[in-house]
Amino acid sequence: MQIIKDREIVEDNWLHLDDEAELASGNITVSLARWHEQHEMLTQHEGGLGIRLTGDDPLEEIVPDLAYFSLVVLYFPAFVDGRCYSFSRLLRDRYDFKGEIRAQGDVLYDQLFFMSQCGINSFELANPNRLTQAIKAFDDFSESYQATVLRPEPLYRRR
């Protein structure tokens, strides 16, 4: 499957493991529940390790473990559920997470600009047929008034 990562269309090289699925080699993501359950085993995993979070998950609980992950997947059950925008801000600004943050679920063209300003840098679009068009959305606005992850100084300090 193709995704957008850092404004480019790339082949996805991650496997999102169901909680019931057997452990696989290579880059895998697991749910928070599985991470807690198989913590020991997963820390030994040789490929890349990612964690999948939803807006219901207690973000702060995973913070001490962030060093294990090179990918955090934020799940949007509906594009109007904005909780994970705050998750991404916190992961970048407060918890200094440098790895990939990916939006998954109801991820649509029209939310990409705001998502990217909040620090999400890869996107599994709900409609993977319009990726080329979707990349344009990152340039919807040339500026932001606020301090954002991409522009940490608010406009009022740059005017």
Q: Least distance from C-beta 117 to another protein, angstroms?
A: 4
Q: Point out which span in 20-28, 38-46, 97-105, 148-156 binds another protein (CB under 8 A).
A: 148-156
Mapping DSSP onto H, E and C, the string for the chain reads: CEEEECCEEEECCCEECCCCCCCCCCCEEEEHHHHHHCHHHHHCCCCCEEEEEECCCCHHHHHHHHHHCCEEEEEECCCCCCHHHHHHHHHHHHCCCCCEEEEEECCCHHHHHHHHHCCCCEECCCCHHHHHHHHHHHHCCCCCCCCCCCCCCCHHHHC
| 129 is a site residue for another protein (CB under 8 A) | no
* From 14, 85, 97, 123, residue interacting with another protein (rule: CB under 8 A): 85
What would the x/- binding string for another protein be over residues 38 to 57, using CB under 8 A? -----------------x--
Should residue 121 be labelled a site residue for another protein when binding is judged by CB under 8 A? no
Among 27, 83, 105, 135, binds another protein (CB under 8 A): 83
5 binds another protein per the rule CB under 8 A: no
Contact range with another protein by CB under 8 A, out of 11-19, 22-30, 61-69, 83-91:
83-91
Q: In whole angstroms, how close is the CB of 156 to another protein at the nearest point?
A: 4
